[in-house]
Amino acid sequence: MATQKQTKSPGLSVKQKNRMPDQTFAFPRERKEPLNDARHVRNAIARFDQVEGVSDSEREAAWRRIKAAAKKFGVEVHERSWRELMRGGKTGS
């Protein structure tokens, strides 16, 4: 019987995400964009404009959480506002 080598997935499993408290996410109500390490903070910045169904005030709060997590994990943030991350002018209400 051949054994199969297991490789670790680069992302978080559903089980891992389910264990994380809401405040660990940039968008806690939607549980989108975890901010648990530097790689995920960079990913949250890169994917910020892909989160749908959130208001501008939710984006503002998410941006504050992202900046705090970036500082905590030593991630450099060049944008001054979350609006700089929006491609195609997408904003909420």
Domain ranges of the chain: 21-82
d(Cα 74, Cα 43) in Å, to the nearest integer?
Answer: 14
Tens digits of per-residue pLDDT, 10-27? 678 888 888 888 889 999
pLDDT for 22-50, tens place per residue?
Answer: 889 999 999 999 999 999 999 999 999 99
